[in-house]
């Protein structure tokens, strides 16, 4: 490496690399600018600066949209690892490494109600001094955080159909659980007398679903279509827990993850099997190209242990 190369390297700052990494894991300039708390022009200027220094294109305009080049995808994992090490170095510099013993966990779907709390309890019995940071968001939001190394792991539902492929490419994905979608009604609803409902039973009913682009909702719409029933999807929510609150308020029939329906919290809600069967899967997502800490590996083992213990409970 020559003297000119060294001078070029010194022109690239940690902030430049952070801007690049954030843009790579965002849906365009606007979202990246919001995450970085700066203007879109500032993001563009930083990327242009990096491109000038290295002499390579990182992004191109294709059909009016900004798309990353092969070069950008090639260097992203190394930059993400470097930024993580830089973050650790800053804590070490100020003598705060001991306080950085924490695990950042993202949760969505039924995992928050059934799997994660028990795994957290078991984990803290083993490592009582480790801080557990819990983030509950939609699957799409959690995957954005995972891909940008802002979470150590996430336990949630399948990725929505419209999520950017480059986000999924930055995530390690492992399925840990499968169950069936259920319909849930208030005990005052005549349907509560049934144990199983079909699309024909729900004609004229106000239906509550998870957000429209979720894989579960897509399959649910297909089931109604195949039954030649025109459903009234009156309300959509971000997760099954929110649906339970609407069902409790007698606003409609909800389609939810069965593990969310705790009878101690919602004693007035009746669960019903739904036919045709619609599969609901739970996945663990982790940042790709990142060495997992012993804390992450232990938490995953505990999640799987809890899942195995409860395998038959919600059937």
> How much is the pLDDT for 311?
47
Which of 5-9, 225-229, 251-255 has the least mean pLDDT? 5-9
pLDDT score at 92: 58
Lowest-pLDDT range, 73-77, 206-210, 231-235? 73-77
Residues 18 and 176: their CA atoms lie apart, in Å, by 32
Here the tokens at position 307 are: 């899942």
Confidence at residue 310, expressed as pLDDT on a 0 to 100 scale = 55
Structure tokens at 267: 């004693």
CA angle 136, 287, 105 (to 5 degrees): 25
Supply the pLDDT for residue 7.
63
Q: What's the N-to-C CA distance of the chain in angstroms?
A: 63
The per-residue pLDDT for range 142-154, each reduced to its tens digit, is 998 998 888 999 9
Share of the chain above pLDDT 70, in %: 88
Mean pLDDT of 295-302: 91
pLDDT in tens, 174-196: 998 888 999 999 999 999 999 99
- Whether pLDDT at 1 is above 70: no
pLDDT at residue 305 in the model: 85
Compute the distance between CA of residue 109 and CA of residue 111 in angstroms, rounded to an integer: 6
**Average pLDDT rounded to a whole number, residues 91-115:** 69
Whole-number pLDDT of residue 93: 62
Nearest to 310, CA basis, from 275, 262, 268, 273: 262
Distance separating alpha carbons of residues 194 and 182, to the nearest angstrom: 13
Four-point Cα dihedral 279, 284, 289, 293, nearest 10: -170
Of 8-12, 217-221, 252-256, the one with minimum mean pLDDT is 8-12
Does the pLDDT value for residue 95 go beyond 70? no
């Amino acid at each position: 490496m020559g003297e000119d190369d060294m001078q070029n390297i010194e022109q690239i700052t940690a902030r430049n690399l952070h801007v690049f990494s954030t843009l790579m894991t965002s849906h365009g300039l606007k979202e990246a600018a919001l995450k970085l708390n700066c203007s879109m022009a500032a993001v563009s200027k930083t990327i242009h600066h990096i491109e000038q220094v290295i002499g390579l294109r990182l992004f191109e305009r294709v059909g009016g949209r900004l798309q990353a080049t092969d070069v950008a995808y090639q260097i992203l994992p190394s930059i993400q690892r470097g930024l993580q090490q830089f973050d650790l170095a800053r804590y070490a510099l100020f003598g705060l490494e001991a306080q950085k013993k924490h695990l950042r966990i993202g949760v969505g779907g039924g995992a928050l109600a059934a799997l994660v709390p028990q795994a957290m309890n078991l984990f803290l019995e083993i490592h009582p001094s480790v801080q557990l940071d819990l983030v509950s968001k939609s699957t799409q939001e959690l995957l954005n955080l995972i891909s940008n190394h802002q979470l150590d792991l996430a336990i949630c539902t399948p990725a929505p159909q419209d999520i950017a492929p480059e986000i999924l490419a930055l995530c390690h994905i492992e399925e840990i659980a499968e169950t069936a979608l259920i319909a849930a009604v208030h005990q005052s609803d005549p349907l509560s007398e049934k144990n199983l409902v079909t699309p024909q039973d729900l004609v004229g009913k106000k239906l509550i679903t998870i957000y429209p682009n979720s894989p579960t909702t897509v399959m649910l719409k297909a089931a109604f279509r195949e039954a030649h029933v025109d459903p009234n999807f009156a309300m959509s929510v971000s997760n099954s827990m929110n649906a339970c609150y609407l069902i409790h308020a007698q606003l409609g029939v909800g389609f939810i993850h069965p593990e969310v329906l705790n009878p101690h919290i919602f004693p007035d809600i009746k669960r019903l099997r739904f036919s045709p069967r619609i599969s609901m899967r739970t996945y663990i997502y982790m940042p790709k190209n990142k060495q997992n800490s012993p804390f992450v590996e232990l938490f995953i083992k505990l999640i799987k242990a809890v899942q195995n213990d409860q395998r038959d409970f919600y059937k």
